[in-house]
Amino acid sequence: MELKHIVIISRSLPFHGSGGMEIVAWDLAKTFVNYGIKVTCITTNIENKKEIFEENNVQVIALKNTKSGKYSKAWFEFSRKYFKQNFLREGTIVLSVSTAAAGLIRDKEIVNSIPIFLQAHGTSLGEIKSKIRTLKLKSILSSIKNVISFFKDIPIYQNSSSIIAVGDKVFNDLNQFPYSNIVNNDKIKLIRNGIDTSLFSFNLNIRNKLRNKLAIKDDEKVIISASRLHKQKGVHLSLLGFSEYLKINPNSKYIIIGDGPERKYLEKLSIQLGINNKVKFLGNLCREELSEYLNIGDLFLFTTLRDEGLPLNVLEALSSGLKVVISSHLKGVSNINPDAFINVNPNSKFDIAKALNTKISKSHKSYLPEEYSLKYCANEYIKLFKGSLK
């Protein structure tokens, strides 16, 4: 049977906000279209957008009677009904971003007619570990929701055609207890996240232009981070480590890209540490801007407390020719290219400072293996989809 139509079900897309899951879903959608396959994305309501519109040759259905970017009873019900009325036909497969297609998976007629692939960016147990690492009472208490989610996820895992882990950490977690007692290991597939390596590549002219714009001297060492500014992302720990590193090398600066609930706190922290003249917050940048600003860096710093699956920011940094200083609990991520990573205890400012003092490469050649490119990733998805239709 021919693969005619891919329907991506996601509660949010880059139109809602640029997170890792949203970027992966949209990049794949655009790439599938380039292979001549019809692609439709069903998502929640998008403010200032029509319910049905087209972007980059991808059809987007943004259900108006749902909460924007949120899971809800209405979302699961209306996404199921819309799919059943419009797309329940041969040659169609469904890619569920996380558990967004839970409404479809609970419908026996859909499950028995259409292959549904669940894209796993993490696990409920991984979320619990991440929240405990923050040592923040509110986060730890909120992990109760993740315990409930674990049990809710069981039938979704069991009734999907395959579970696609986006990175080695997620893949290993799903193959271990308790998931190994819930899901047949044959259903779990590994397709690592891929990025546009032509977009994220080193450009000396852009580096010189932007360093000049930000008044960064040629001999200054630039540490750079790019993530959502949330407690679990550990940027506050990066600031503490950079403050300590300045005692070793005062001729350095720290560029922080991203926004979030912790931004004001982080700005105040940089003032309290007396390093605000060495730190610059750039806020949210679009993908094209981000790819350009990574060129100004010499090292990428990511002291996350989360149990990350396969974070795009790390792949983008590696593709841009940057070595990565990363939290030691993300050993699976470090296996991408061991020569490109320096593992640190995120809670030790001395450990971070020591890592930042590493010798930097002047070549800025990509550290990213080919299997982490968007093209390679999309091809693996298509092979899996076509195999299911046979």
Distance between first and last Cα of the chain: 6
What SS3 string covers 30-85?
HHHHHCCCEEEEEEECCCCCCCEEEECCEEEEEECCCCCCCCCHHHHHHHHHHHHH
Q: Within 10 Å of residue 277's Cβ, how many Cβ atoms?
A: 9
pTM, full prediction = 0.88
DSSP-derived secondary structure for 289-317: HHHHHGGG-SEEEE---S--SS-HHHHHH
Domain boundaries, the chain: 5-194+373-389, 204-370
Specify the pLDDT at position 152.
Answer: 85
Which amino acid is located at 88 in the chain? Answer: L
Specify the pLDDT at position 362.
Answer: 82
- Assigned superfamily of 204-370: Glycogen Phosphorylase B; (3.40.50.2000)
Pick the CATH number of 5-194+373-389 from 3.40.50.2000, 3.40.50.2300, 3.40.50.720, 3.20.20.70: 3.40.50.2000
Q: Which residues of 325-334 are buried (b: 16+ CB within 10 A; e: fewer)?
A: bbbebbebbb
Averaged over successive runs of 10 residues, the pLDDT of the chain (390 residues) comes to 95 90 95 97 96 97 96 97 96 97 97 96 76 71 75 91 93 91 93 96 97 96 96 96 98 97 98 98 95 98 90 96 96 90 97 95 91 96 93
- Strand ranges across the sheet with 38-44: 52-55, 58-63, 38-44, 5-9, 92-97, 116-120, 162-165, 188-190
Specify the pLDDT at position 332.
Answer: 80
- β-bridge mates for residue 92, sequence order: 5
Sort 344 into a burial class: Cβ within 10 Å, 0-12 / 13-18 / 19+: buried
Specify the pLDDT at position 146.
Answer: 73
